[in-house]
Amino acid sequence: MNIAAILLLALGAQNPAQAPTTLPAPTTTGTAQPAAKQVPATPTTATYSSEELGLAFDYPRSWKPSKVKIKNAEAKVILTDPKTWRPPNQDITTRFLMPLPGVDERGILEIYSATFNQDQDTWQTVQRDINQKMNRAVLRQWSEEVLGVPLLMTKIESKDKGVDLITETGLMYSATPRKLIFRLTASPDNFDKADTTWRNVLQSLHTTDGRLPSAEDPNRKFTPKDITPGAYHKVVWNAPVPKPMAPVKGDLITEAMAAGKKVQVRGPSGWKAVKNSDGSFSFSSPEVSGSVKVFVASIIDSDDPGKVLIRASGQTLVPFSKVLKREEKGKYLNHGQANVDWIYRRGLEGAKPRFSFDAAGDNGDNYWVLTWTGSDEGAASRDRKTLESLVDVLSVVPAP
């Protein structure tokens, strides 16, 4: 069944009714009655897990999953080395029908795997050429990141039996023989809703063994055993344990509020802070160009810093048309005794250079999250050095 047909069938689907979470209270007849037994709350999410990929994510139970067989024809391109290996005639794909807010249409999300270990540009070139050959308009190609590895994205516009569709495809460029691919499809009017819904779920993506994958090395060779469909092998990256830094109190940069209590934000000398209308702070230094924004909060009444950092990093990633280099460091204990993670990117926004630096650090319950973007290629090296010096000391401590 083609995508358009499934999309039309999904229009009449209804959300399942939810079961009550507790039993009704018993009536009394003059004698004490035992308390009503509590029925466990119905889980709102389910988990997709693939041992072949070594990945899992949580999705709403309102999604309708199904297993479908996809022929390895022009709809999917699988490249491999050694060239004597051939994919099976068909692969099993997990397909989700996704309810979208405010409309009857269901988005379609497909999750499958592919074997690919050539360079990133080759994948993007193949995707572009295949879609153009099939008379599909390639709207955009770019790269993001997920779990610390590149996510190679292609967005196309097509027609299926007269129905206009937008499809976004992403390949997780991890050092695994079988790589995750997702394909998200919806009508042009509702694609943004489908994309937002999927991106929220994608934040829960994690490896099944808890260890981060490394990015693929195009020079790495696979054996026929490695690339057997259904087999799971992967190369993991184990971060070196950084040496602890000597404690440094740092200079007072500004005061803030976290969980209703006054705190001090401390860091290296030479920095100034101006409070913004949204409660964040704009940091400035003569040694850095671009825009530095710092948000102060507490896990007592806010999300944990890791989640906030992921969201912030996703926002600074949006303007990139291509990420040429990505570096990451964490977790390490900085001079201000904060547990720090940071992500640095260098790339392009169209034809112009673009740089970003996102970081988070927690001193117990209190934490800070920093984002910076710049476009001055001549100052990029100095900017990065200055930002690293800042987060190596930055801390949030209770006000005396």
Closest CA to 394 of 358, 367, 356: 367
Tell me the CATH number at 81: 3.40.1000.10
Domain membership of residue 225 (yes or no) is no
> Do 57 and 200 share a domain, yes or no?
yes
Tell me the CATH number at 289: 3.40.1000
> Do 51 and 193 share a domain, yes or no?
yes
> Do 46 and 181 share a domain, yes or no?
yes
> Do 63 and 180 share a domain, yes or no?
yes
Domain membership of residue 212 (yes or no) is no
Q: Which residues of the chain have pLDDT under 50?
A: 1-35, 70-90, 230-240
Q: Which helix (H) or strand (E) holds 252?
A: strand 251-258
> Do 130 and 275 share a domain, yes or no?
no
Domain membership of residue 269 (yes or no) is yes
Q: Write down the pLDDT at residue 40.
A: 57
Domain membership of residue 14 (yes or no) is no
Closest CA to 167 of 152, 185, 153: 185
Please tell me the total count of domains within the chain: 2
> Do 75 and 178 share a domain, yes or no?
yes
- Quote the DSSP letter at residue 100: -
Sign of CA dihedral 377, 378, 379, 380: positive
Q: Answer with the one of 207, 233, 267 that is the final residue of a domain.
A: 207
- Quote the DSSP letter at residue 34: P
Q: Write down the pLDDT at residue 224.
A: 65
Closest CA to 112 of 46, 202, 179, 185: 179
> Do 271 and 379 share a domain, yes or no?
yes
What pTM does this model have? 0.50
> Do 58 and 180 share a domain, yes or no?
yes
> Which two tokens mark 335?
């001079």
Q: Answer with the one of 177, 207, 237 that is the final residue of a domain.
A: 207
**What residues pair up with 329 in beta bridges, in sequence order?**
342
> Do 286 and 165 share a domain, yes or no?
no
Q: Answer with the one of 207, 222, 243 that is the final residue of a domain.
A: 207
> Do 389 and 310 share a domain, yes or no?
yes
Domain membership of residue 5 (yes or no) is no
Q: CB 15: neighbour CB atoms within 10 A?
A: 10
Q: Write down the pLDDT at residue 42.
A: 61
> Do 157 and 262 share a domain, yes or no?
no
Q: Write down the pLDDT at residue 222.
A: 66
Contact at 8 Å (CB) between 351 and 378?
no
Contact at 8 Å (CB) between 11 and 30?
no
Query: What DSSP string describes 67-99?
Result: EEEEESSTT-----SSTT----SEEEEEEEEEE
Domain membership of residue 190 (yes or no) is yes
What is the domain range of residue 317? 251-398
Domain membership of residue 365 (yes or no) is yes
Q: How far is CA 63 from CA 45, 165, 194, in A?
A: 9, 20, 12
Domain membership of residue 147 (yes or no) is yes
> Do 175 and 319 share a domain, yes or no?
no
